[in-house]
Chains A and B, each alone.
Chain A
Amino acid sequence: MRILDGGLVTTVQDTGRYGHYHIGMPPSGAMDQFAHKVGNWLVGNDESDATLEMTYTGAEVEFEEDVVFAVTGADMDPSLEDEPVPTWTAVRAEAGDTLSFEFATEGARSYLAVAGGVDIEPVMGSRSTYTLIGIGGHEGRSLEGGDELPIGEPAADADAMVDSSIDEENRPDYSTNEINVVMGLCDYRLTDEGRQRFIDAEWKVSDEADRVGYRFEGPDITDMFEEREQPFGAGPDVTNVVDLGYPVGSIQMAGQPIILMRDAVTGGGYVTVGTVVSPERDALAQCRTYSTVDFNAVDVEEALEIRRARDDLLEEIQESL
């Protein structure tokens, strides 16, 4: 498949690169794992096959062979040879056809899955692009016009998948803005009032929101830290801790909150106050710049229930195909 135009930011991603956090390697992988997996299933792929993740403005792609593809995630009005194509649906394209996209009307990230998957050499067990050190994907970077991507061997039933579609009620609603969070990690550093203000406030996604992290704008919480004599090695600021590991999805409080996403730093010395429940990291990946978000505190059992419900839905979708 040939990239005619890379769009805003388009990268090759899969389910992620695991087992290397201890050397500082973040997982990378699709920011919206739900849309990525469902896209793969629609074209008969394994969920861990590589798709293209497009941000806000999709790429323009020419298929060099007949192919079955599906577009999931944010709606970017895809069209094949200028004919609109349905999203969350397996579609057939012929050799020479061009697939193009408009600006996203809802959500922020679309996934293009092709039967056989993007077949580049995995690095440390994953094809995901991690641009900071330039590994994975196509030359470790975002795609540009002129790039050629090899497609793997489609599954035997890929053709039979054409016109398969995900039921309307099983597609995510990207207009929701409630993000469930398990408070903790280092939230003892906040005063009770600070914790409450974090939960009660409406937070706006700033224009610094990418695969590394989402920075939010909202009330000032800088005076909401418990005073203490700083422990040895942390540094003198009240927001400093002895450098520690940051979970993906955790919320850093160095001034305004930053939620760490899949290409984030794996550790550092700022206070973390909680972690977004795993399925809602997918939802956050679809939150657009300047949209507002409400954080809702849940306990770990509720968090596990949210995850089970998402896993059940994925299982139902997979069985329906």
Chain B
Amino acid sequence: MSDRTITRQELPSPRYEYGGDDWVFVELDEAMSFDANFKAQAITQEIRQNSLEGLIEVAPSNASYLIQFDPGVLHPDELIDELKSLEDEIDVSEYQWEARVFDVPVFYDDPWTNETLMDFRDRHQDPESTDLEYSAEINGFDSVEAFVDHHAGAPHMVTMIGFVPGLPFCFQMVPRDEQIEVPKYEQPRTATPSRAIGFGGAFTAIYPVPGAGGYQLYGRTPVEVLDVDQELSAFEESMVLPNPGDILNFRQIDREEYDSIREEIEDGTYEYNYDRVDFEPQAFFEDPRGYNEQLLEVLD
């Protein structure tokens, strides 16, 4: 049924676009792929290291990236020329990085996201079902259980942080034909519980704070991805937990485990289960299943 490898994507020529006078947006591909994402990560890391004068923001996203600069110092066309030359130099399969692998416990079909999604049935494609039932069905799964097993069955790579501080967009580390794809709500919700696990397009998101949202809701994690006061030990370096390039392993938990982790989080005593690995795209592309297993060993 599935390829045993990740099929490499031939990327089109990038689209360079002016965002007013002080931003440049670069779309590496209209479609999502590991190739497009890893290229966005590699170029933005490289441009950070080159520390071109006048750069203000360098932000990789899923299949594109965004740069803000001071046009009084750097003309947008000079910046674009620099980006084009980086473009030519970078070979994604040679680009490697240190990633952290995180255990992310998830209480699927939890009462809080369930209550929220029931409140917004009128904005949904299929008001008669839950978001999990709908997603399972349109992706050809026989049951919600099988769908959840799939979502938690292979790790997800953080491909972008954004929308709000600390919100990771995650792309499951499986071949294209095993990827789940779902629409966003027809009309975005005005409410989403914090720490909700959502899915839209081909991406899982973890909502750090309560607020609006358009992704299908699957569950809730007891662990924080944003800690503004940096009280939990995993947030020593940053108020935001994951970085692009990190790997999240969603692990299905029950109410009891959810509650006990929440207690530890609230006491400030929770120790996140994570470790560092050197991520090698080429090894992952060649044997994703085997490579994922190897990655997850650090969580044992």
A residues apposed to B, CB below 8 Å = 18-25, 132-135, 140, 181-182, 184-186, 231-237, 240-250, 265-269, 275-278, 300, 303-304, 306-307, 311
Q: Is B219 an interface residue (CB 8 A)?
A: no
> Contact: B27 with A18, CB < 8 Å?
no
> Contact: A23 with B19, CB < 8 Å?
no
The interface residues of chain B lying within 8 Å CB-to-CB of A300 are: 18, 21, 76
Q: Is B197 an interface residue (CB 8 A)?
A: no
The interface residues of chain A lying within 8 Å CB-to-CB of B201 are: 233-235, 240, 242-243, 269
Whether A304 touches B240, Cβ cut-off 8 Å, given contacts A184-B18, A250-B19, is: no
The interface residues of chain A lying within 8 Å CB-to-CB of B238 are: 23
Whether A245 touches B184, Cβ cut-off 8 Å, given contacts A23-B238, A24-B164, A233-B32, is: no
Partner of B165, one of A25, A237, A275, A276: A25
CA distance in complex: A132, B19 (Å): 25
User: Which of chain A's residues has its CB closest to B25's CB?
Assistant: A185
Q: Which residues 144-198 of B have a CB within 8 angstroms of A?
A: 160-167, 169, 171, 176, 179, 181-184
CA distance in complex: A237, B200 (Å): 11
Partner of A233, one of B20, B68, B202: B202
By size class, the interface of chain B is 35 or more
> Contact: B31 with A232, CB < 8 Å?
yes
- Proximity bits, B18-57, A CB within 8 Å = 1, else 0: 1111110101011111000000000010000000000011
Partner of A265, one of B63, B162, B176: B162
Q: Is B66 an interface residue (CB 8 A)?
A: yes
> Contact: A231 with B163, CB < 8 Å?
no
- Give 11 A-B contacts (CB < 8 Å), ordered by A residue: A21-B66, A21-B68, A182-B18, A232-B33, A233-B203, A235-B181, A241-B30, A247-B68, A249-B19, A267-B163, A278-B21
User: Which of chain B's residues has its CB closest to A299's CB?
Assistant: B18
> A257 to chain B: closest CB distance in Å?
15
The interface residues of chain A lying within 8 Å CB-to-CB of B111 are: none
The interface residues of chain B lying within 8 Å CB-to-CB of A248 are: 23, 68
CA distance in complex: A115, B147 (Å): 61
> Contact: A133 with B165, CB < 8 Å?
yes
The interface residues of chain B lying within 8 Å CB-to-CB of A234 are: 30-32, 201
> Contact: A182 with B20, CB < 8 Å?
yes
Given pairs A232-B33, A235-B183, 6 additional interface contacts (CB within 8 A): A21-B68, A23-B161, A231-B30, A235-B200, A242-B31, A267-B61
Partner of A247, one of B25, B72, B76, B166: B25
The interface residues of chain B lying within 8 Å CB-to-CB of A247 are: 19-20, 23, 25, 66, 68
CA distance in complex: A244, B23 (Å): 14
> Contact: A133 with B164, CB < 8 Å?
yes
> Contact: A244 with B184, CB < 8 Å?
no
> Contact: B163 with A265, CB < 8 Å?
yes
> B148 to chain A: closest CB distance in Å?
21
> Contact: B23 with A233, CB < 8 Å?
no
> Contact: B61 with A243, CB < 8 Å?
yes
> Contact: A232 with B202, CB < 8 Å?
yes
> Contact: B228 with A245, CB < 8 Å?
no
> A24 to chain B: closest CB distance in Å?
4
Partner of A236, one of B31, B176, B183, B244: B183
> Contact: B31 with A244, CB < 8 Å?
no
The interface residues of chain B lying within 8 Å CB-to-CB of A184 are: 17-19, 25
Q: Is B60 an interface residue (CB 8 A)?
A: yes
Q: Is B71 an interface residue (CB 8 A)?
A: yes
CA distance in complex: A63, B18 (Å): 45
User: Which of chain B's residues has its CB closest to A268's CB?
Assistant: B163
The interface residues of chain B lying within 8 Å CB-to-CB of A277 are: 20-21
The interface residues of chain A lying within 8 Å CB-to-CB of B44 are: 22
CA distance in complex: A184, B164 (Å): 24
The interface residues of chain B lying within 8 Å CB-to-CB of A250 are: 19-20, 23
The interface residues of chain B lying within 8 Å CB-to-CB of A235 are: 181-184, 200-201
CA distance in complex: A240, B64 (Å): 15
User: Which of chain B's residues has its CB closest to A181's CB?
Assistant: B20
CA distance in complex: A265, B166 (Å): 11
Q: Which residues 106-165 of B have a CB within 8 angstroms of A?
A: 160-165
The interface residues of chain B lying within 8 Å CB-to-CB of A237 are: 183-184
CA distance in complex: A21, B169 (Å): 15
CA distance in complex: A52, B182 (Å): 44
> Contact: B72 with A266, CB < 8 Å?
no
> Contact: A245 with B64, CB < 8 Å?
yes
> Contact: B209 with A245, CB < 8 Å?
no
CA distance in complex: A135, B160 (Å): 22
Q: Is B59 an interface residue (CB 8 A)?
A: yes
> Contact: B17 with A233, CB < 8 Å?
no
Whether A244 touches B20, Cβ cut-off 8 Å, given contacts A233-B31, A266-B163, A269-B200, is: no
> A207 to chain B: closest CB distance in Å?
15
The interface residues of chain A lying within 8 Å CB-to-CB of B169 are: 243
> A243 to chain B: closest CB distance in Å?
5
> Contact: A132 with B162, CB < 8 Å?
no
> A298 to chain B: closest CB distance in Å?
9
